[in-house]
Structure 1
């Protein structure tokens, strides 16, 4: 019989990258709330925050697609 001790969908590396992506997304939302302009219509609320959030989603997408070497 083959050893199937690792039954998780992803490896440890994938989960670490996913956690990094979640932290980046949270930082992006925090940046959006820190804008001093009324209704968040300044640079941080309209430009910087959403760019950081999209970067976090790209990291999440990468975390799903990367193949973990221990999960082969």
Structure 2
């Protein structure tokens, strides 16, 4: 009986389930896409102003994607992986 308890105590359980890791990966992809869309818009000549840095993509879309990605990450962390297995 004592040996069984030791085996159960030494068993490595992951904190997150497969579903959690899938959502984390999706969140990381959305965050990376947001940062990729945010990049660029610079000018080759430092004496010339480039209005491309104020494009809708860099000001609105990219930060929104980054925030949505962080929201997906929070959801992935708070998601209960054992919810479906208890039913």
- What TM-score comes out, normalization by structure 1 length? 0.79
- Asked which structure has the greater CA Rg, the reply is 2
2:81 paired residue among 56, 68, 72: 68
The answer for the alignment partner of 2:23 in structure 1 is 17
TM-align CA RMSD: 2.8
**How far has the Cα of 1:59 moved from its partner?**
0.1
**CA offset digits 1:6-57 (Å, max 9, x no partner):** 5222111101100000000000111112558646221111110000000000
Q: Specify which structure has the higher proportion of helix.
A: 1
Equivalent position of 1:26 in the other structure: 32
How many residue pairs are counted as aligned between the two chains?
72
- Whether the aligned pair in 2 keeps the contact of 1:18 and 1:63 (CA below 8 Å) is yes
Q: Structure 2 length as normaliser, TM-score?
A: 0.67
Distance 1:44 1:35 in 2: 10
Q: CA separation of 1:8/1:61 partners in 2, compared to 1, >3 Å: closer, same or farther?
A: same
Unmatched runs of 5 consecutive residues or more in structure 2: 43-49
